[in-house]
Amino acid sequence: MSIEKLGMPKWGLSMTEGRVIEWLVEEGADLDIGTEVAEVETEKINGAVESPAAGVLRRRVAAEGDVIPVGGLLGVIADASVSDADIDAFVADFQASFVPAEAEEEAGPAPETVTVDGTTLRFLKTGEGGEPLVLLHGFGGDLNNWLFNVEALSGDRAVYSLDLPGHGGSSKDVGDGDLAALCGALRGFLDSQGIDKVHLVGHSMGGLVAATVALEDPARVASLTLVDSAGLGEQIDRDYIEGFVAAEGRRDLKPVLQRLFADERLVTRQMVDDVLKYKRLDGVQPALRSLADHLFADGHQQHRVGDALGSFSGPVLVVWGEQDQVIPVAHAEAAPAGAETKVLPGAGHSPHMEAAGEFNRVIEGFLAGAHAG
């Protein structure tokens, strides 16, 4: 077998380096594809590095505490039969030739904007061709929430991460603040990009938007993936919604954001800062207030599409973090008959961030099946 590099991953547009917090496996351990090997801290978020190959972790090159540039060598994976001398040579060769990318070169695709019916929408397009995929964030989120997913999902198709109105870099005007305004923006966006047939993936509030558009315009939606989605039950954590809307400073916001994850250590100072910067923008506060009042008044979801979804003929995938504190995992049971359901252990409300590797494989597998079907 060949010798495989275990490299520092790139999570999100701005990541240039990461710090190894902890090795999760010993040298000599057997790895499968997707085994979590090390925990890494970046400016934005902490995450687990997964093995890209099956084999033995022959060498831990980076020590705990080391800061390694994106693409730099964390460790070496190879079969047990490969000699230590060959491993040494591989490490020496790599270190001699590796040049960390400059921040500018590494910037990759940048977000763009398009104006639809007077509403500016920001989006990030990664990958080309195939049947396109559109990713829709949840309440208070933005396109950066998909930082662990866009690269993995855009291998053989165009992936558009969209900022819904009131969010991220899109217009902060949410019209009457109800679901129709968000769905209208999504349809307008698809028109603007000339997308006739789309795979929709929506998280939380974005799931409700995706499902509603799938019901209104079924011919256009090739498949529907609902992630810890709104719209499948009545309950939603009022403290999360109201806490998010009300938070003005770091001290108020951090405990609210921690409710999004099973492991609250994932919430870094930078993540809190980024959300605060968004919340301070003119127009955001009334937009969030209005959306919360229309969609989630007093901790009750106002729109439910679970029953109606039975009539949607395309493939449906429902994914949930087992430890979701915002929308109960029990709502996954309201998925329509015939839907594929996947509950991810060790993840909270945001499994696309917290269990990103497994999440990406589940989505890839589902999309492959959706094409075959």
Partner 1 sequence: MARRITYQQAINEALAQEMERDPTVVVFGEDVRGGAGAPGEDDAWGGVLGVTKGLSPKFPDRVIDTPISESAYIGAAAGAAASGLRPVAELMFVDFLGVCLDQIFNQAAKFRYMFGGKAVTPMVIRAMYGAGIRAASQHSQALYPIFTHIPGLKVVAPSNPYDAKGLLIQSIRDDDPVIFLEHKVLYTVEGDVPEEAYAIPFGEANIVREGSDVTVVALGRMVPFAEQAAEELQREDGISCEVIDLRTTSPLDLETLLESVENTGRLVVVDESSPRCGLASDIVARVAQDAFGDLKAAPQMVTPPHTPVPFSPTLEDAYVPSPEKIAAAVREAAGAATAGAR
Binding residues (CB under 8 A) for partner 1: these are: 111, 113, 122, 169, 172, 248-251, 269, 277, 280-283
Minimum separation from the CB atom of position 41 to partner 1 (A): 11
Q: What are phi and psi of 274, to 5 degrees?
A: -60, -40
| Residue 113 vs 235, nearer CB to partner 1 | 113
CA-CA distance, 19 to 108, in Å (whole number)?
22
Which strands sit side by side in the sheet containing 67-69, from one edge to the other? Answer: 46-50, 36-41, 17-23, 67-69
Minimum separation from the CB atom of position 205 to partner 1 (A): 22
Structure tokens, 61: 């090159």
| Residue 249 vs 369, nearer CB to partner 1 | 249
Minimum separation from the CB atom of position 14 to partner 1 (A): 10
| Residue 278 vs 320, nearer CB to partner 1 | 278
Q: Half-sphere exposure of 341 toward its Cβ, with a 13 Å CA cutoff?
A: 16
| Residue 36 vs 274, nearer CB to partner 1 | 274
The label of the residue with tokens 């995929």 reads 133
The label of the residue with tokens 């839907």 reads 339
- Is 237 in contact with 325 (CB distance < 8 Å)? yes
| Residue 41 vs 178, nearer CB to partner 1 | 41
From residue 296, give the alpha-carbon distance in Å to each of 141, 182, 186, 285, 301.
16, 15, 20, 16, 5
Minimum separation from the CB atom of position 310 to partner 1 (A): 40
| Residue 125 vs 172, nearer CB to partner 1 | 172
| Residue 39 vs 43, nearer CB to partner 1 | 43
Minimum separation from the CB atom of position 307 to partner 1 (A): 40
Minimum separation from the CB atom of position 140 to partner 1 (A): 16
- Is 236 in contact with 165 (CB distance < 8 Å)? no
Q: Is 337 exposed, middle or buried (0-12, 13-18, 19+ CB in 10 A)?
A: exposed
Minimum separation from the CB atom of position 269 to partner 1 (A): 5
- Is 173 in contact with 115 (CB distance < 8 Å)? no
- What's the sign of the alpha-carbon dihedral 121, 125, 130, 133? negative
